[in-house]
Structure 1
């Protein structure tokens, strides 16, 4: 197997050719944060939290979607990156309506955990308090746009794992939001199989089961990798 060698935070690392920088940083035990990335799903570089510095490259590179190359010298936790990540998390909170105390994902929320990781105790940006809708038309699940961070995990798991293609992104800029079907109420989209995979991988309380109340949502973020491996290796009978 062909490998590439690079340096991550001063440590020599060898990874298979074609591996991402995120995989290389994991091999070096460098804890690079992510919100949109999930093993088993394609990378999209939406959250911008996994940005790293590569010597000789002026811009920051998303580790999840950048291939590791021979001889790269990578830095994952410089002061510049720490400040950038905190700013990104602050903006997530400022542009949405994230009230942790009453959220179904409280204590099980990846955004909440990320705020602790980057040392955020307040946002330096003014809160926008957007007026966003809640889609409770599905008999089993609810979509609360106020808590959505547009990570597109739901879009990708429905497309790549379930194959139902229920979710997509609509509009642009500040009006950008998740849409079901042809921008229909979720409960009216006939393609939905009610599998719940989108709910399981959502990093916040944007998607949840109707039976969930405050702090009761429990995600299952290992599901996509498990299902993709089982499908690729024809191991359904063992799972």
Structure 2
């Protein structure tokens, strides 16, 4: 297991305001994730798993604390700076897919590249090769509303990986899928992410995913707790 930290979370706190009251989601979270490590986040609904992924990605700022990714303190960046950092260094797989409905499958994959630099012919070849690897070669010009849930999730995975980020964040990527399709998605993640030596942090309740993880941590009572064993 590599020891160099890909993610360093230091005394992270986050809360929200509702009905004039402040509600704490978690306080003083600390976590180190090594390069190439696969971490699973557990926790009840509402415990803060999605919030933590949003903080790691820089989508949301914390109330206090720091998130350092590959040596860059993203909590010290402006909102625009965090957006640029995400474009170059992170891939995010959303449970709800978040594909752009007015773009075809290929256009959804090309967009992250186009936001970084002008597109080249090699980019279109890369998209075609990745879609072929995902069993979606015949869906190149299809729009998201014509895809099944499993196909949309595979496109979402491809979009998160197309710019070759070192860090992948996944929020319940099999939560909306049936068992067979979910197993297929996990196999793709294993092939395209883990075996490529990328760092993966995933929020999930899937026991199959948990069995593949290098380490499991649970958000309990507003803190991160290591899980040494999964109880039957």
Larger-gyration structure (1/2) = 1
Select the structure that is richer in helix.
2
TM-score by length of 1: 0.25
TM-score by length of 2: 0.26
